[in-house]
Chain A
Amino acid sequence: MINHPDNGNYQRAIIIPLDGSRTAARAFGAAEAVARLLEASLHVVYVGKEPQPEEQLLRLLNLGQVNTKKIIFHQPTGQIVNAILELGTSLDASMIVMSSHGRTHDAGLVAGSVTMNVIQQCDIPVMVVRPLRQGTPDRDWQPGRMLIPHDGSPVTASEVDQVFSLAQMMGADIDVLHVAVSARQPVEAGAFTGPRYLDRPHYDWSGWADEFMRRFAARQPEANIRLVYRTGGTVAETLAFAREQHEDMIALIWRGQMAGERAATVKGILRQTEVPVLLKRIK
């Protein structure tokens, strides 16, 4: 039976793909923590040439001491990315947690090829953990704050509810950061960016914030949520704000296209982030 919320025995699922490298295993703590916070089962997926006995697999994956009773191992064969995506679909997974890099760790790249392909093709939220950052989450990780940059566009708004929902399930407060890009004039119907006129700033700012939240967070989660307005470059302001406010993760809603000049914000944040980045692709 397909694991689906409509079924009576539905169980949330978190997936972590591992390739046996230490860099990939650095995301395991975050995966355990997310599974705990979401009350989900944790699914480890390893794509090898042939299935390994569990004891051997544990050694291969560099996981150290883990409670295997709480983990479900999957060892499909074939194309790695497809195997991960198919498992995500079959489990109706709530999230995939993975390291930005795996075995062929090239720090010059935004992310390794598997991660890049997964985040571009996956409709499930993907949490990307930078393996070499200090303090990658461990199994006891309890994110207190999630930062969500929001550009005021309707497409971003279309996915924000799911991200809010995840923040709420993880018990994180939410900071919505709107970085007004100086030269950008909204063109989409319903787009909303910084206030053009501030006749009475003491009312206009609160009015703007109220409108922004009503527009883009109509289903406000049961979490503390605040809206912050900044100007400047989105990447720099987001990272600076995350540092200043001790954000535990950054959530990005994006279009899922990395090629060429696209997704400059996602690339920039992934390169420099010190905290896990939750990516939600717009369907």
Chain B
Amino acid sequence: MPGCLAAFPQAAQHLFRIIAFDWDGTAVSDRRADAAPVAAALEELLELEVFIVIVTGTNFGNIDRQVCSLINSPHKRRLHVCTNRGSEVYGFDEGGSPMLIYHKEATPHENELLDRIATAVRQDIEGRSRVSVAVVFDRLNRRKIDLIPEWPDPPKSQIGKLIKKTEARLRDGGFAGGIHSAFELTAYYSRRFGLAGARVTSDVKHIEVGLTDKSDSMRWIAGELCRKRNIPFADMLIGGDEFGPVAGFEGSDFHMVLPELAAPGAAGPAAEAEDWPSGSTYISVGPEPNGVPAQVRYLGGGPACFLELLQAQIRLHRQLLPADDPAAVLEETGFNHLREREIESLLAIGNGYLGSRGSLAEQVRSSAPATLVAGLYDKTSEESIEELIVAPDWIFTRITVNGEHLYAAKKSLLEQRRILDLSRGVLFREWRHRGHDNRITLIRFTRFAPLADPHGLVERVTVRPENYRGDIHLKTGLKICGGCVPALQIIEKDAGKNGGVFIEARTAYTGITLVQHQRSAAAPGFIEPARDSQSDDSGVFENWRWRAAPGQPVTIEKYVGIYTSRESAGPAQEARSHAGRLSKRGFTGLLLDQAEAWRQRRAAVAISVDDPESQQWLNFACYHLISAGNPHDERISISARALTGSIYKGHIFWDAEMFILPFFIFTHPPTARNMLMYRFHTLSAARGNAIKKGYAGALFSWEATATGADMTPAAVLDAKGEVVPVLSGKLEHHISAAVAWGAWLYWNVSGDDSFMAGAGAELLIETARFWASRVTARDGVFHILGVEGPDEYHDEGVDDNFYTNLTARWNLRRAAEVVEWLKAGWPQEWQLLAEKLGFDDGEPARWRQVAAGMHLGPAARVAGKRAEKKPLPAGPREAGLTEAARGADAKGGPAGAPTGTAAGVIEQFGGYFQLEDIDLGRLEPRWAPVDVLLGHERTVASQLVKQADVVMALYLLEEELDPAAVRNSFDYYEPRTCHGSSLSPAIYGLVAARLGLMETAWHYFRRGARIDLTYGNAAGGIHVAALGGLWQQVIMGFAGVRITREGIYVYPRLPGQWGKIEFTLLWRNMQLRFTVRREAETGVEIAGEGEAKLGIFGGRLTPLAAGSYVSRWGGDGWGDFKRPGAEPGAGVVALPGDQGPAGEKGGLFDKSS
């Protein structure tokens, strides 16, 4: 029934909290109709806290039999039935049994009058004509004069026919005035016999005279539901089928149209939106042959239309509530003050521009609320490092009942549920508090940071006393963080002007102005809270005060605009007008916008597995990744804890490119581009780093803020309270290759040539220049000495870290290729760039020479006790590199440069194999970092590895390594890796999946997925890079995605716990939607212009236009992608490891756990 909704789009936009309607003809066609569909819809609405009121002329028994008996919900107490034309109201108790809650009983005198009137009308009609009519006397408070007794129960749908037949019957029988005269006659006798206020109505078949009509039902609803529950008339939908005149008199449903309900302004102090009337909404779904009154919207369509409206309301209500799917939410129940800061991180909301921890609004002592804004850094002194500062706390709301502050505490907490909707970025909290004198208060919060509107923050608070009448005070505002360091300097506070309150503040050293402007409003209702505002040293606040009775909710909505001088020359004005715009749009509209924005973003990710627990982990990962992404600002990137906590001071590490960036490259390229442009904008700082150390090109800072300057502290206190130097800032140079890798991957996947022709090329060239200057030549072999690889246990400077050398070599080669590409295809851009960079045409040759001569490991030398017990696996070849990788620079470099390892295991750095080989298994199970258990000195002198180092290289540059070396090296390093970094498990899981070690891969997937979700790890903020790693494990590992310049390969290998996985990737403006069924088929739906070159890894690429394709499992490998139904090709590509789990060796952990 799209026409029905099209005529009344508000059914899908405006939340109705009361739906009152006529039954017969509106909700069902007649009393014999199957009411099950409408009963199901009503039951759902009751559960959604909508009051349902059936307004009918008939008695309760008829309605109960047809519909009420079908509703068994515990929420049935919100169902009411107004029967007998306004004379009775039925409700339902907790057990669902009906209760008569209102009853009007005629006095004997009134009954006598009614009898006399009906009898007089009958006698009059029959006396002056041949028409015989019947009188129904046994009705409560009314009598019915049946004008057409021979048609006992005419359906409403035949109203036209009924009019004709009745009129004909009366006329033919000599009663020329017809129905209208019968109506007037009834009114006449009512007046004549002195029945004051008699209600005369007609449904054509009958003329009824009574003491009440449907207007009495509506008055009951207005008083008992609207006023007593503080529900504005505007939130009431009233449906019927007979509003318009019939046979010359008002339709029976017109009695539901009360002036006080329909009139604008009747609903309370303010309308929700300018284009929405503040009175109740009347709709008619009936035939209405003579049109409808002005107060009523005509829809037509009958009960089917009405049902469609109910279903639209259900969808709308559901959109404003947490998702039903348990995998799509993260729920915390109760209150445990010990876990509070951890929960705050997990439940943080954000939109890339800002993040806000999921703290309790009333700020309990165990809370650490923080709102962080991307790029808003400051420091405590000229010499100190920059860190993210905490903005005034916008979530602060304190509720006081009769002078008692309400706050979460075990003794007063009856219930508490906090639900983060991972699919929509909305945090819900429902809290029942028991206070003094056993006062019970229900408080609901809904909070979100609009994804598509990054400068806004929105919260709604509803307070409902359950069992008391009391004075309620809600104080909400912007609270200055008293103990935060660095502290903001408050420039101006305003409480009262400009329709809200605001704070303008400035950072001390970085000179950034921050403005937050709050507007709050009471939702329309009969209770009109009084508002005032205040400003003091702790912040600026709006106070709302009201008196409420049991069951009367009052809702305060809060809108905050937030701007800094980084984005605007006039942040104060921007913040103010932004808060105004949010307020005008209104909470419901903003929440619907939020749902739509998230739906679009999630559609570009669309990762799903058929295991609910895994699905929730992935939803959690994607939620925080999307929340961290900032497509609005290319001068900042994503910190290692995003904007969910301050523990890493908001610093940006290599995590950004290696762990977080790929997610955005494949799902939201604008965010990915911004992350890389941030590196481009900070090139001058990176050049400065290189110059300071005596090198050329660009060395990116290990820890950076908006400026790109190195923010790594020189020294810190360690666990024993001793001052120790921090060497990562000095030695982890591999970050420059990470930036180059990110730029290359983005270019390959997005096809954004304009990026590579400008910023991208500059990043690659400057990083290549760094590596070319960073090497030390010895006998024609190039070494990188004195660095720290990703494995930070060996942090005192190692030589020839394999990962660093390999990625540096890759960086040098890619830069040389890009120069050629630019010269050939973008000559003007190249000329400009070459001039800008002072480019020497001999540089690419030098890069190739260095790459070709790069030292990549001596022959493996194994030392240590353990190695004697477990010899290194014998490799099939001498070196760990592929022929192609070795020969790539044959023209440019010296022959015979040492590459790879003997015995097929790559050495992590020079001399690594000579270190003590400690059996990590002897320390397991453990719950403490290995370097703490063993001590730093012993750890440094051992082969124990903190995190993926060689294994990181196995992932990133697999194509440059011999497959046997990949397997042997993984087997070697896996039992020696302590996973002391959250970045480690996902990479091991990824490589394990590519090797077909599925139990190992699953073990690491589970471990990586739970890093934040267990044991307080997240108190300082969530590990967004680990979550990015988790996504990579699924896509690059389980799905086996590999990227080349030419195209994209997959080779899915799913763990035994999953039967199916679906995911979406963006590839050069095309969308690739994959569906993998384990060891059965891999389907892909390609959408977009052009062709995507797609293949099974190990096989060939095939150009595929938009459409569906499938690759089938051939028993030990995957076939080529073909159109569904096409003959499977002969070729099946099989990778090592598809022989099944037998290939899995015993490892360090119990993989079955």
Contacts and interface: CB of A to CB of B under 8 A. Distances in A.
Contacts of A218: 337, 365-366
B366 A203 contact: no
Interface in B1022-1062: 1023, 1025
A189 B336 CA distance: 8
Contacts of B1017: 195-197
Interface in A172-197: 180-186, 189-197
Interface string A204-229: 11110011001110100000001011
Contact of A214 (B336, B341, B982): B341
B932 A231 contact: yes
Given A157-B338, A190-B339, A218-B366, A226 B926 contact: no
A201 interface: yes
Nearest to B1020: A207
A68 B138 CA distance: 99
Interface string B907-939: 000000000000000010111110111000000
B231 to A, nearest CB: 39
Given A199-B1023, A218-B365, A189 B928 contact: no
Given A192-B338, A202-B713, A218-B366, A229 B932 contact: yes
A196 to B, nearest CB: 6
Contacts of B981: 197-199
Given A197-B1023, A211-B1016, A229-B719, A180 B647 contact: no
B380 to A, nearest CB: 15
A214 B648 CA distance: 18
B948 interface: no
Contacts of B779: none
A49 interface: no
B719 A183 contact: no
Nearest to A193: B927
Nearest to A185: B927
Contacts of A184: 927
A180 B718 contact: no
A157 to B, nearest CB: 7
Nearest to B1025: A199
Contacts of B932: 180, 194, 229, 231
B982 A197 contact: yes
Contact of B721 (A198, A199, A228, A231): A228
Interface in B429-445: none
Interface string A223-254: 00010111100000000000000000000000
A196 B1015 contact: yes
A69 interface: no
A181 B719 contact: no
Interface in B962-992: 979-983
A259 B648 CA distance: 46
B640 A200 contact: yes
A218 B721 CA distance: 21
- Determine which residue in B339, B726, B927, B931 has the highest number of CB atoms from chain A within 10 A of its CB, and name it: B927
A217 to B, nearest CB: 11
A171 interface: no
A195 B718 CA distance: 13
A154 interface: yes
A258 B338 CA distance: 28
Given A182-B933, A211-B1019, A202 B928 contact: no
B717 A205 contact: yes
B163 to A, nearest CB: 70
Secondary structure of the B contact surface, majority rule: loop
B726 A202 contact: yes
Nearest to B336: A190
Contact of A226 (B721, B927, B980): B721
Interface residues of B, number: 45
B316 interface: no
Interface residues of A, number: 39
Contacts of B718: 201, 205
A129 to B, nearest CB: 29
A200 B926 contact: no
B1019 A207 contact: yes
B720 interface: yes
A181 B726 CA distance: 27
A196 B933 CA distance: 12
Contacts of B713: 202
Given A157-B338, A194-B927, A211-B1019, A206 B717 contact: yes
A198 B1015 contact: no
B452 interface: no
Nearest to A211: B1019
Interface centre among A199, A206, A207 (most CB of B within 10 A): A199
Contacts of A183: 925-927
Contacts of A231: 928, 932-933
A79 to B, nearest CB: 37
Contacts of B929: 194-196, 198
Contacts of B338: 154, 157, 189-192, 215-216
Contacts of B668: none
A157 B366 CA distance: 13
B512 interface: no
A114 B2 CA distance: 85
Given A192-B1015, A207-B1020, A186 B927 contact: yes
Contacts of A181: 927
B716 interface: yes
Nearest to B928: A180
B342 to A, nearest CB: 8
B368 interface: yes
Contact of B980 (A154, A186, A198, A202): A198
A190 B1020 CA distance: 15
A272 to B, nearest CB: 23
B341 A211 contact: yes
A55 B719 CA distance: 56
Given A199-B983, A201-B718, A204-B647, A185 B341 contact: no
Contact of B649 (A180, A182, A203, A216): A203
A206 B719 CA distance: 8
Interface string B115-141: 000000000000000000000000000
Contacts of A196: 927, 929, 1011, 1015, 1017
A185 B932 CA distance: 16
A211 B981 CA distance: 18
Given A197-B1011, A215-B338, A229-B719, A192 B925 contact: no
B1020 A211 contact: yes
Contacts of B647: 203-204, 207
A200 B792 CA distance: 9
A20 to B, nearest CB: 46
B928 A186 contact: no
B928 A182 contact: yes
Contacts of A199: 640, 981-983, 1023, 1025
Contacts of B982: 197, 199
Interface string B564-592: 00000000000000000000000000000
A180 B365 CA distance: 27
A192 B119 CA distance: 85
Interface in B60-89: none
B719 A205 contact: yes
Contact of B339 (A182, A189, A200, A201): A189
Nearest to B720: A228
16 contacts: A154-B336, A181-B927, A182-B923, A182-B933, A189-B336, A192-B338, A194-B932, A197-B981, A197-B1011, A197-B1023, A200-B648, A203-B648, A205-B716, A205-B719, A206-B717, A211-B1020
Please provide the 8 A-B residue pairs with the shortest distance between their CB atoms, ordered closest to farther: A190-B338, A202-B716, A180-B928, A207-B647, A207-B1020, A197-B982, A211-B1019, A229-B719
Interface of A: 154, 157, 180-186, 189-207, 210-211, 214-216, 218, 226, 228-231
Given A184-B927, A214-B341, 6 more contacts: A182-B925, A185-B1015, A189-B336, A194-B932, A205-B717, A211-B341
